[in-house]
Structure 1
Amino acid sequence: MSTTGVASAETSHADPPAPYRWRWAALFVILAAEVMDLLDAVVTNIAGPSIRADVGGGASTLQWLAAAYTLSMAVGLVTGGRLGDIHGRRRMFLVGAGGFTLGSFLCAIAMSPEMLIGARVVQGLFGAVMLPQGLGMIKEMFPPKESQKAFGLFGPVMGLSAVCGPILAGWLVDADYFGTGWRMIFLINLPLGAAALLGAVRYLPRGRSASKPRLDIPGMILVSLAAMLIIFPLVQGREYDWPLWTFLMMGASVLVFIAFGAYESRRSRAGQDPLVIPGLFRKRGFSGGMALGLVFFSTMQGFMLVFNLYTQIGLGYSPLKAGLVMVPWSGGMIVGFGLAQAVARFGRAVLQAGTLLMALGVFGIWLTLDMAGSGVGPWQLLPALLVTGVGMGLLMAPFFDIVLASVEQHETGSASGTMTAIQQLGGAFGVALLGTVFFGLLGGGIASAVDDHSDTLRGQLTAAHVAPAAQDRVVMDLRTCASDRAVAKDPETTPASCTRLEKDTRSAVTSPQDAARIPAALEDTASSAFRSGFGTVIKTVLWVVDGMLVLTFLLAFLLPRHARPGESGAH
């Protein structure tokens, strides 16, 4: 719907144009595309070991299965949004959905790591064409009073997809339907993609920009290069222990972004069509929303990463159980979305209340872990995760509506692509930041936990007739081995410290009876230290998450109080 050209009350008594008839059906088509993207962003994390066992490849193959998708999508999002302005959002959605489905098929039939990674790039590029069109079409189809409900559905859908992705991947790989194994995680996209295409043909609105802008090729190259320079080191930096070149790339990305901004401003002043309309960033709602979105999506994705690492590695949950633990979080998001509709008239305050409630829920998780220790169970985590989800639902429900409300019709494609790119960038930054903090603390946390259990271990070694000098070597070896194994980039490789532990353990054995007692004592100590060390580290990271949520709350003051001027009463 256009927001311009409204006649004054004195000159026009005509009813406003009727909203698009099939808008709710169209919304579910758009959300289906969002689900396909979110699922494919996480399924390879679960299926990775099975994929590697089948098609081969080194440890870096597992990283590139996810990185190739994230990188290619982030690089193409701004251009993809602009293509919707030029050629029509419905047409570009169909092109993107069709290409994404084709990329999924190529992934499913891949016979080598190189082919699979290349197919993931195809998925990401076409996903970058498909996704930004949805936000633009929602803004077109829904009248102001309904737009917050429409945009608010993105929060629960994102949460459910994030939780269901690992569950679905684990189930499909284990079920091995028709002998397909891991390939089914991509084959399932074929019926989903076909349904999205048929739904798009039937329900998405036709139409294209009356001004018919032209694609800004130099701008496209600049923004793609800038995105690549910052996303690549964020995704891969930890794998390479953050060498100097990762920071040089991120610094270069800032310079390229500055060059891109200067070029776009010059192009706009010359009367040509820029890729990103500079005037967007002079709008308070949009520029504030970009800053808030960057921090919030960093927080959300980073939190999900470290919490899943904690449940699966620290607590030893299976992927399915770890996914089920997060169900209260997703359920809370749906509740938060419903509450947000009831209090929508409060605008920005709803978002800020949700941020504080989410921070309270994260503190509740910390308190639960502190009280229950390494024996914490799913039911004990349920209340805090539920509160966290409710807060997130309240936060996300008004977010897209407030940010896009001030965007003019001809700016929608550019704004949607930029918003989706910020979402991807924020996710990559959050995973890099909190993942680095988590693994940076983990080695020391587990080493300290071994120290805490060392007196008990020494008592067991004394009972097994191990000499004091040998005890010192074994305890030190265990400390180093447990720490190295926890932070190993390739879990299939045995650290040198663990090989040394085995050697020193054998030399410490003085009788056949002790040969079984000593390894059992070491295993028991390592297991206890692993759980308590993970618990100590995750509690520290949760404080960082809460700090990021406080920053999100403060950045919300950059947003207007309401999505539209004068919108302070009930709808």
Structure 2
Amino acid sequence: MTTQDVAVAIPCRRRWPGLAALLLGEAMNLLDATVVQVAAPAVHADLGGPVSDVQWFGAAYTLPFAVLLITGGRLGDIAGRRRMFVLGVTVFTVASMACALAPAPGLLIAFRAVQGAAAALMIPQTIGLIKAMFSGEETGKALGSIGPVMGLAAVCGPVVGGVLTHADLFGSSWRSAFLVNVPVAALVLALARNLPENRAPHRPPLDWRGTALAALGTGLLVYPLIDGNLRQLPPVHWLLLGAGLLVLAGFAWHQRHTSRPLLEPSLFTHRGFPAALVTSTAFFAVTNGLTVVVVLQLQLDAGTGVLASGLSLLPWSAGLAVASWWSGSRLVRRHGRRVMPYGLGLLLAGLLAAVIAYRTTTPGHYPVALPPALALVGLGAGLFTPAFFTLALRPLRPHEVGSAAGLLNAVQQLGATLGVAVLGSAYLAGTGPGAPQGACWVAVGLLAVAWAASVRVGEEERA
């Protein structure tokens, strides 16, 4: 009996607890990222270190997550998806406890990197295990449950981060933002006993050299952007940026000439797919970088507490959840690719409204007009995302979809890392009330890149 036969034959009473384990794992990953974004200024105030560490608390997680996602998926294909999922959750839990106990910012950043690597083992197994457990219409229902869970996690994340840090349970302050992962992970591991073991019928190749080149190249790009002043980068940082570009060029050359590529080569024969990669990188750089700017401005400049800054992000999260459901369930089927420019237009309106909110606010005071602006940002992002991913994957052949989804997820995380680096550094390099405005204008420039690239997404479908 094959692995796939065993998976399909598992009792129905075990499928739904197994699905709950996968969904909780997905939610835990997203919650951890958003909770820490809100708590990061409090972490810096407690542990000290340079202000750029606030950016590293997020980037140290998303960078290894982005680089190792595809390799994590391949390891699941080879060694077993349930095994890799359980290993990822276990390491994630241990790293979360280490983060909570970290006595210095450097150690916290290192433990965050371990968390990101563990998430890269855990998250890519979800779709494969769902397809192994369910068949027919039940598969669609199970896959469809991912979106609402992620939307709920996006809504709850900033609030949870603010509440936990503000509550200061047992004197834990920001440390409870990491400790909350422990009971959630314990429940995930208990439910994971219902998951079947499942692997690919044919052993896919592992490209460790390509993984190392991708990690080194992106690391060389991100480090100077976070640690340097964007207005006056020292010569050594320019050398690092150049070295990063050269290493990534070497990665591209390696992928074209190796017999065991990390990426599916045929993906790049589709006219719209490279454009989708650029779109995803720029779009998620805007949304993730803007979150950091908002939190830093509220806590460092406006003097609001961590709870107030978390609640200030709630209109964004709520708009994202509502619009993504509406777009995915109705608009994309009716209007197709036309939904994307409308979403980007709303996001642009939100960015411009944020600029006005910051400009009309007295220094040191709360920007009252900011939450409505963030609601527009959330609505725009929610309209855009389902349409983008649907159109980016629709023209692909069946054997390309898995690799394409993994690569889009990876560049999404890479975009998040670059957004935190670029927009966060643009804010920290500014002075006075103009600092958040300057970061917003940088976001507008990145959004223009996303719009220009998105024009070509789904071109095969139109042809």
* Fold in common (TM above 0.5): yes
Deviation at 1:155, TM superposition (A): 6.8
State the Cα deviation string for residues 171-198 of structure 1 (Å, max 9, x = none): 3344332344443222211111122233
Q: Does 1:394 align with 2:383?
A: yes
Which one-letter code corresponds to 1:214 in the other structure? P
Seen in structure 2, the aligned counterparts of structure 1 residues 385 and 150 have a Cα distance that, compared at 3 Å, is same
| 1:189-268 correspondence to structure 2 within 5 Å | 189-202=181-194, 206-238=197-229, 242-268=233-259
Q: Does 1:331 align with 2:357?
A: no
> Greater relative contact order (Cα 8 A, min sep 6): structure 1 or 2?
2
The answer to whether the Cα contact below 8 Å between 1:81 and 1:413 also exists between their aligned partners in 2 is no
Which one-letter code corresponds to 1:295 in the other structure? A
Identify the match of residue 431 of structure 1 among 375, 398, 420. Answer: 420
The answer to whether the Cα contact below 8 Å between 1:85 and 1:410 also exists between their aligned partners in 2 is no
Which one-letter code corresponds to 2:330 in the other structure? A
Seen in structure 2, the aligned counterparts of structure 1 residues 157 and 546 have a Cα distance that, compared at 3 Å, is farther
Seen in structure 2, the aligned counterparts of structure 1 residues 115 and 308 have a Cα distance that, compared at 3 Å, is closer
Seen in structure 2, the aligned counterparts of structure 1 residues 370 and 121 have a Cα distance that, compared at 3 Å, is closer
Seen in structure 2, the aligned counterparts of structure 1 residues 184 and 308 have a Cα distance that, compared at 3 Å, is closer
| 1:520-535 correspondence to structure 2 within 5 Å | 534=433
Whole-angstrom CA distance in 1 between matches of 2:398 and 2:189: 25
Whole-angstrom CA distance in 1 between matches of 2:142 and 2:281: 22
Whole-angstrom CA distance in 2 between matches of 1:540 and 1:60: 17
Identify the match of residue 555 of structure 1 among 445, 448, 453. Answer: 453
Which one-letter code corresponds to 2:263 in the other structure? V
Identify the match of residue 322 of structure 1 among 295, 298, 309. Answer: 309
Seen in structure 2, the aligned counterparts of structure 1 residues 416 and 195 have a Cα distance that, compared at 3 Å, is farther
| 1:126-205 correspondence to structure 2 within 5 Å | 126-134=118-126, 152-153=147-148, 156-157=151-152, 159-160=154-155, 164-165=157-158, 167-202=159-194
The answer to whether the Cα contact below 8 Å between 1:301 and 1:430 also exists between their aligned partners in 2 is yes
Deviation at 1:84, TM superposition (A): 2.8
The answer to whether the Cα contact below 8 Å between 1:68 and 1:124 also exists between their aligned partners in 2 is yes
2:7 is aligned to none
Which one-letter code corresponds to 1:122 in the other structure? V
State the Cα deviation string for residues 464-515 of structure 1 (Å, max 9, x = none): xxxxxxxxxxxxxxxxxxxxxxxxxxxxxxxxxxxxxxxxxxxxxxxxxxxx
2:70 is aligned to 78
Which one-letter code corresponds to 1:45 in the other structure? A
Whole-angstrom CA distance in 1 between matches of 2:142 and 2:278: 22
| 1:393-472 correspondence to structure 2 within 5 Å | 393-407=382-396, 410-411=399-400, 414-440=403-429, 442-443=430-431, 446=432
Q: Does 1:538 align with 2:436?
A: yes
1:361 is aligned to 350
The answer to whether the Cα contact below 8 Å between 2:350 and 2:377 also exists between their aligned partners in 1 is yes
State the Cα deviation string for residues 121-145 of structure 1 (Å, max 9, x = none): 3212212222333466678879797
Whole-angstrom CA distance in 1 between matches of 2:453 and 2:415: 15
Seen in structure 2, the aligned counterparts of structure 1 residues 95 and 235 have a Cα distance that, compared at 3 Å, is farther
Q: Does 1:101 align with 2:93?
A: yes
The answer to whether the Cα contact below 8 Å between 1:151 and 1:401 also exists between their aligned partners in 2 is no
1:512 is aligned to none
Seen in structure 2, the aligned counterparts of structure 1 residues 34 and 351 have a Cα distance that, compared at 3 Å, is farther
1:343 is aligned to 331
State the Cα deviation string for residues 273-317 of structure 1 (Å, max 9, x = none): 322222222234532221100110111122222222333333332
Q: In the comparison of the two structures, how many residue pairs are matched?
A: 445
How much identity, in percent, do the aligned residues show?
35
Which one-letter code corresponds to 2:261 in the other structure? P
Which one-letter code corresponds to 1:227 in the other structure? T
The answer to whether the Cα contact below 8 Å between 1:335 and 1:390 also exists between their aligned partners in 2 is yes
Deviation at 1:77, TM superposition (A): 2.9
Which one-letter code corresponds to 1:351 in the other structure? M
Seen in structure 2, the aligned counterparts of structure 1 residues 370 and 41 have a Cα distance that, compared at 3 Å, is closer
Deviation at 1:538, TM superposition (A): 3.2
Q: Which moved more, 1:105-114 or 1:251-260?
A: 105-114
Deviation at 1:560, TM superposition (A): 0.9
Deviation at 1:326, TM superposition (A): 1.8
Identify the match of residue 285 of structure 2 among 278, 282, 298. Answer: 298
Whole-angstrom CA distance in 2 between matches of 1:239 and 1:544: 12
Q: Which moved more, 1:192-201 or 1:338-347?
A: 192-201
Whole-angstrom CA distance in 2 between matches of 1:558 and 1:355: 15
1:34 is aligned to 29
Seen in structure 2, the aligned counterparts of structure 1 residues 149 and 399 have a Cα distance that, compared at 3 Å, is farther
Which one-letter code corresponds to 2:71 in the other structure? T
Structure 2 unaligned regions, length at least 5: 1-13
Deviation at 1:209, TM superposition (A): 1.3
1:488 is aligned to none
Q: Secondary structure at the match of 2:304?
A: coil
Seen in structure 2, the aligned counterparts of structure 1 residues 295 and 322 have a Cα distance that, compared at 3 Å, is same
Whole-angstrom CA distance in 2 between matches of 1:99 and 1:60: 27
Which one-letter code corresponds to 1:228 in the other structure? G
Seen in structure 2, the aligned counterparts of structure 1 residues 413 and 191 have a Cα distance that, compared at 3 Å, is farther
Q: Secondary structure at the match of 1:398?
A: helix
TM-score by length of 1: 0.67
Which one-letter code corresponds to 2:306 in the other structure? P
Structure 1 unaligned regions, length at least 5: 1-19, 447-533, 567-571
Whole-angstrom CA distance in 2 between matches of 1:396 and 1:389: 11
Root-mean-square deviation over aligned CA pairs = 3.7
Whole-angstrom CA distance in 2 between matches of 1:333 and 1:67: 22
Seen in structure 2, the aligned counterparts of structure 1 residues 390 and 44 have a Cα distance that, compared at 3 Å, is closer
State the Cα deviation string for residues 340-373 of structure 1 (Å, max 9, x = none): 1221212222222111112122223334455566
Whole-angstrom CA distance in 1 between matches of 2:115 and 2:192: 18
Deviation at 1:83, TM superposition (A): 1.9
Deviation at 1:67, TM superposition (A): 4.7
Whole-angstrom CA distance in 1 between matches of 2:454 and 2:149: 19
1:450 is aligned to none
Deviation at 1:112, TM superposition (A): 5.4
